[in-house]
Amino acid sequence: MMNSTIAAISTAQGLGGIGVIRISGDDALKIADKVFVSLNEKKLCDQKGYTAHFGAVFFEGEKVDQCVATVFKAPLSYTGENVVELSCHGGTYVTKTVLRAVLDSGATPASAGEFTKRAFLNGKLDLTEAEAVMDIIGAKSNAAMRSALSVHEGALSKAINDVKEDLVMRAAHLCAWADYPEEDIPEIEFSSLKNALQLSKEKLNNLLLNYDKGKAIREGIDTVIVGRPNVGKSTLMNLITGYDKSIVTDIAGTTRDIVEETAVVKDITLHLSDTAGIRDADNMIEKIGVDKAKQRLSTAELIIAVFDMSSPLSEDDISILNDIKGSTCIAVINKEDLEPKLDIDKVKEVTENIVFMSAKAKTGVKEFEDILEKVAGTADFDSSSAVLSNERQRSLAKSAFNALDDAIVALDMGLTYDAVTVSLEDAISYLCELTGERVTETVVDNVFHQFCVGK
């Protein structure tokens, strides 16, 4: 727990000039040495603290990028533990690949606010900051949960879940067979068990191999534009995406109710959804669109809420304000060129990030950029949480793969099934971590679902 070595991308994500991957824990230097080779081929383990070394990072035998490794030795580091910071060129692909190399070499993905937590527990932060730290962790975990939710919809999590369910069925059979020896539970057949484990292992392997293909992972800040109909959302969307057409891509498979595009504003990647106007809809089809918009609202990392300066706040506007309260958001007050009728104080109660603009007349664009930069750059806006939660899935899938391998080895050696079951349950427990279930309960529930047992 506390002693494991953790890693994460610790710079805001996007097309910035540098990306930093921070590794912290007892084994930070050892792990860094597995991925980083310095120009003079000296090991980081042998280096002093507060030193920087130029070299390159390698992943699966290939060079990923040039890199500067900065070494901090416990207790003289941010977290008070051994720390290595790998500074490479920015950009999602490079930073993510470096992170992956580090995770594959034995680090675990840092959970929300974990660096800060360690810094605090190691006495590196002032006591008075404790409550602020607790708040940050709370906020970060909410952000992480949001991205986990959005990842949930993804094909990857479905595939992982399918593997998990297969394994739970097998584990439940083994458990029923052991816990109810005198009931007529079907015998465990060696070859069928082994084939099943082998199949699951292959499925996990394919998942890991194809992980980056397709659209399983989405970079950038998951952003949603909301507002009642006709406040100018689409115009705003076009204005933002119109910044640099060359790096705007369409994402296939979007619903007809939500338009999705990726845009880069001031080096910040936004994954944008323009939703159906939110209002109390009577029409069935429109209602579906509105429900989808509301759902996006709950999974998005950043909300851009658009209001019309030229009309008073409507009931729908107020409902939107209620929905976005407590979220990371920017309020865009559109149509500033028209006669003002909107009660701006009501908006101020919800957020201080307010921009006045006219999307049509293209005024206020600079202000919007500045606010966006400020919001995306604030400490508790963890723009890398989506990548991290994806990396966490991958890392857990990999651990599950290894545990399954242990189970198969135990089977091949001819060890008794109690040992096989323990490894199998290890594999399930990694997959369960994604959903927060507990393996023993999941398996026991399945026993009673699948088998008629009990005296």
Partner 1 sequence: MSTYFAGNYDVAVIGAGHAGIEAALASARLGCKTAIFTINMDAVGNCPCNPSIGGTAKGHLVREIDALGGEMGKTADECFLQMRMLNLGKGPAVHSLRAQIDRRKYQDVMKHKLELCDNLDLRQAEITDIERNEDGTWTLTTRMLAQFVAKTVIIATGTYLGGKIFIGEVSFESGPDGVFPATFLGDSLRKLGIPTRRFKTGTPARVKKSTIALDKLEVQEGDNPPVPFSFDTESLGENKVVCHISYTNEDTKKIILDNIHRSPLYGGKIEGVGPRYCPSLEDKIVRFEHKERHQLFIEPCGLDTEEMYLQGMSSSLPEEVQLQFYHTIPGLENALIMRPAYAIEYDCIDPTSMNATLEFRDFEGLYGAGQFNGSSGYEEAAAQGLIAGINAAHKVQGKEPFVLDRASSYIGTLIDDLITKGANEPYRMMTSRSEYRLILRQDNADTRLTPLGYELGLISEDRWKRFNEKQELIKAELKRAKETVIPLSDELNDILVSRETSEVSNSIRLIELLKRPQLDYKALESVDLTRPDIPQSVFEQVEIAIKYDGYIKKQLAQVEQMRKLEVKILPSDTDYKELPGLRLEAQEKLNKIRPANIGQASRISGVSPADISVLLIWLAKKSHEKSQTEDNTDV
The smaller minimum CB distance to partner 1, of residues 249 and 298, is found at 298
Angle between helices 385-413 and 417-433 (to 10 degrees): 170
Phi first, then psi: give them for residue 7, nearest 5 degrees: -150, 150
- Of 209-217, 234-242, 311-319, 439-447, the segment contacting partner 1 by CB under 8 A is 439-447
Q: What are the CA-CA distances from residue 157 to residues 84, 165, 299, 347, 383 (Å)?
A: 31, 12, 15, 37, 20
In this structure, the strands spanning 51-59 and 62-72 are antiparallel
- CA–CA separation, 94 vs 212, rounded Å? 13
404: contact with partner 1 by CB under 8 A? no
324: contact with partner 1 by CB under 8 A? no
Could you tell me if 175 and 417 are in contact, meaning their C-beta atoms sit under 8 angstroms apart? no
The helix (H) or strand (E) run that includes residue 109 is strand 108-109
Could you tell me if 37 and 58 are in contact, meaning their C-beta atoms sit under 8 angstroms apart? yes
415: contact with partner 1 by CB under 8 A? yes
- Of 245-253, 288-296, 375-383, 411-419, the segment contacting partner 1 by CB under 8 A is 411-419
111: contact with partner 1 by CB under 8 A? yes
140: contact with partner 1 by CB under 8 A? yes
Q: How far is the CB of 27 from partner 1 (least distance, A)?
A: 15
187: contact with partner 1 by CB under 8 A? no
In this structure, the strands spanning 18-24 and 83-89 are antiparallel
Longest dimension (CA), the chain: 82
131: contact with partner 1 by CB under 8 A? yes
Could you tell me if 5 and 28 are in contact, meaning their C-beta atoms sit under 8 angstroms apart? yes
SS3 382: coil
Q: How far is the CB of 33 from partner 1 (least distance, A)?
A: 24
- Of 123-131, 195-203, 219-227, 323-331, the segment contacting partner 1 by CB under 8 A is 123-131
Q: How far is the CB of 176 from partner 1 (least distance, A)?
A: 8
Q: How far is the CB of 117 from partner 1 (least distance, A)?
A: 5
Q: What is the full DSSP assignment across 386-454?
A: HHHHHHHHHHHHHHHHHHHHHHHHHHHHT--HHHHHHHHHHHHHHHHHTTT--HHHHHHHHHHHH----
Could you tell me if 58 and 102 are in contact, meaning their C-beta atoms sit under 8 angstroms apart? no
76: contact with partner 1 by CB under 8 A? no
- CA–CA separation, 374 vs 240, rounded Å? 17
197: contact with partner 1 by CB under 8 A? no
Q: How far is the CB of 184 from partner 1 (least distance, A)?
A: 6
Q: Which of 46, 182, 250, 339: binder of partner 1 (CB under 8 A)?
A: 182
- CA–CA separation, 65 vs 36, rounded Å? 10
Q: Which of 15, 56, 68, 133: binder of partner 1 (CB under 8 A)?
A: 133
- Of 172-180, 191-199, 245-253, 324-332, the segment contacting partner 1 by CB under 8 A is 172-180
Could you tell me if 420 and 170 are in contact, meaning their C-beta atoms sit under 8 angstroms apart? no
Q: How many angstroms from the chain centroid is the CA of residue 454?
A: 43
- Of 21-29, 208-216, 232-240, 415-423, the segment contacting partner 1 by CB under 8 A is 415-423
The smaller minimum CB distance to partner 1, of residues 374 and 438, is found at 438
Q: Which of 22, 96, 100, 117: binder of partner 1 (CB under 8 A)?
A: 117
Structure tokens at 420: 């096989």
Q: Which of 153, 162, 179, 343: binder of partner 1 (CB under 8 A)?
A: 179
Could you tell me if 324 and 303 are in contact, meaning their C-beta atoms sit under 8 angstroms apart? yes
207: contact with partner 1 by CB under 8 A? no
196: contact with partner 1 by CB under 8 A? no
Structure tokens at 374: 């400020």
227: contact with partner 1 by CB under 8 A? no
The smaller minimum CB distance to partner 1, of residues 2 and 379, is found at 2
The smaller minimum CB distance to partner 1, of residues 366 and 438, is found at 438
114: contact with partner 1 by CB under 8 A? yes
Q: Which of 9, 28, 107, 175: binder of partner 1 (CB under 8 A)?
A: 175
Q: What are the CA-CA distances from residue 54 to residues 28, 50, 105, 107 (Å)?
A: 17, 14, 20, 22
Residues in the chain: 455
Q: Which of 134, 159, 248, 281: binder of partner 1 (CB under 8 A)?
A: 134
Could you tell me if 273 and 294 are in contact, meaning their C-beta atoms sit under 8 angstroms apart? no
Residues that bind partner 1 (CB under 8 A): 1-2, 111-114, 117, 120-121, 127, 130-131, 133-142, 144-145, 175, 177-184, 413-419, 422, 425, 436, 438-441, 443-444, 447-448, 452-455
